[in-house]
Structure 1
Amino acid sequence: MTTARDLLFVAMDMPSTRPLERGDLSLALAGAELIDLLGPGVVTLDGEFVLPTGRTASADPQLDLALAAVAPVADGETVEDWLWRRGRGLSDAYLAALEADGLLGREERRRFLVLRTSRMVLADSPGRRRAAHRWAADEPVLLALAAVIGISGPPPVPEPPAGPVSTILTAVRHAVEELTAERHRRARRLDEARQTYVRRGF
């Protein structure tokens, strides 16, 4: 299991202080992948730049894909740029992987007499229990990533020591803040457009 998958379990199991946006989750998942790649020395950071070391990744398919997404040394790429590129649609990819592994299914519900609806539910699994254990143990990296997307454990969230992990967490926070600001700008433009249409009689 990986930090990214543990984060996804936590995101689906724990209440959040704001609506959980898939874009925010995708960026946090990308950050979790990068932290997991740092651990065995598959990638390294040169300041804010992500560099491959030439080592192979683990047997985890998602981490293999994450490593393949790291730019060659000659090109260079900042942590934040990598988060944006790797994070595009990443939450959907992880959800699809959970469903393919039988860890996520649809619970059928009947509304009224004829309407059927369904919602995604997590199956009980060792991975889900492991994520819950890490959460209960106040594991700093998992708590910090969850806090960025609005899921808070017992305050205060412990900060990891300064270093590459801290650099990645800071980049995830900046990217999520930027995405949140862009959503607010779009909502404001839509609201202004609606008001304009109303004034013109449409």
Structure 2
Amino acid sequence: MTTAKDLFIIAMDLKHSVGQGDLSLALAGAELIDLIGAGAVAVDGDRIVPVGRPPLDDRFLGEAAAALARQAPYERIEDWLWRRGRDLSAAYQVALVEEGELKPQRSSRLSFGSKSLEPVDTPARRRAADRWKEMEPVLTALAAVVGIDDERSSDDIDLDGEAVTIVVAAVHDAVMELEAVRQRRTIENAAFANLWRGP
């Protein structure tokens, strides 16, 4: 399992309401961090620099690596998060159902899309739970960014390496930008509704 899959399982396991857009951005960040760990990419300032093509035994990481811009000036991390993150949580949901990691649930407080799902008790779920219990820094930081862990801030977590810290900060900024867009739309919609209602 990868950090992204562990993050998705934790989000469902804790039955915490997480926006699909927020989670998709965090999943893209988790993939990028795993690519850094695998030696597939390096971070140069705010750019993602492919440095190798190591064998990746995960379909999503393989897709992420294949989608990297391989010519200078390379892609900015923020741009990568938005591009790679598009509908990524939905793709992970489908894959985890197919892999038997998620199953339909008759009643649930947490619903992803139109289906209510819950994690199956598998080795992957136990591994994700162990990483969460041990407060593994990357998983904990990404969970804090999307609000799964209300008690911690990603700023409080000591991450291993500058590149990982830069990626987590970029995920945080992207999630904040998405929230600002949501708030602006809410205000615009309310103003439009008031206009039609009249005095």
The alignment partner of 2:83 has SS state of: helix
Structure 1 stretches of 4+ with a deviation exceeding 4 A read 153-157
Residue 159 (structure 2) aligns with: 160
Residue 114 (structure 1) aligns with: none
The runs of 5 or more residues in structure 2 that have no matched partner are: 108-113
Residues 31 and 172, structure 1, Cα contact 8 Å, conserved in 2: yes
Deviation (angstroms), 1:35? 0.3
Residue 112 (structure 1) aligns with: none
Q: Which moved more, 1:53-62 or 1:93-102?
A: 53-62
> Aligned partners of 1:118, 1:140: CA distance in 2, in Å?
30
Q: 1:113-134 deviations in whole A, cap 9, x for unaligned?
A: xxxx962121111111101100
Aligned mate of 1:23, from 9, 21, 24: 21
Deviation (angstroms), 1:153? 6.9
Cα 1:132/1:92, change in 2 over 3 Å? same
Residue 58 (structure 2) aligns with: 60
Residues 37 and 57, structure 1, Cα contact 8 Å, conserved in 2: no
Cα 1:34/1:118, change in 2 over 3 Å? closer
Cα 1:98/1:118, change in 2 over 3 Å? closer
Cα 1:169/1:44, change in 2 over 3 Å? same
The runs of 5 or more residues in structure 1 that have no matched partner are: 110-116
- Provide TM-score, normalisation by structure 1: 0.88
Matched, 1:73 2:71: yes
> Aligned partners of 2:55, 2:83: CA distance in 1, in Å?
19
> Aligned partners of 2:56, 2:64: CA distance in 1, in Å?
11
Deviation (angstroms), 1:34? 0.3
Residue 192 (structure 1) aligns with: 191
Residue 2 (structure 1) aligns with: 2
Question: Which amino acid in the other structure matches residue 141 of structure 1?
Answer: V
Residue 143 (structure 1) aligns with: 140
- The total of aligned residue pairs comes to 191
